[in-house]
Amino acid sequence: MEKEIVFVTHNIGKIKSAEKYFKNLKFTTFNYELDEPRSDDIKEIATAKVKEAYEIVKRPCIALDTDFRIEELNGFPRAFVNFSLDTIGINGILKLMEGKENRKCAFNECLAYHDGENIHYFYGKHPGNLSEKMQGVDREEKWSDLWYIFKPKGFDKTLAEMNKEERENRQKADGSVQAMQEFAKWYENQK
- Catalytic site positions: 65
Q: What is the β-pairing status of strands 77-78 and 61-70?
A: antiparallel
What is the three-state SS of 13-80? HHHHHHHHHCCCCCEEEECCCCCCCCCCCHHHHHHHHHHHHHHHHCCCEEEEEEEEEEHHHCCCEECC
How far is CA 170 from each of CA 92, 158, 162, 175, rounded to the nearest angstrom?
Answer: 28, 11, 10, 8
CA nearest neighbour of 114 among 46, 180, 67: 46
Local structure of 180: helix, strand or coil:
helix
- CA–CA separation, 111 and 63 (whole Å): 6
- CA–CA separation, 59 and 38 (whole Å): 26
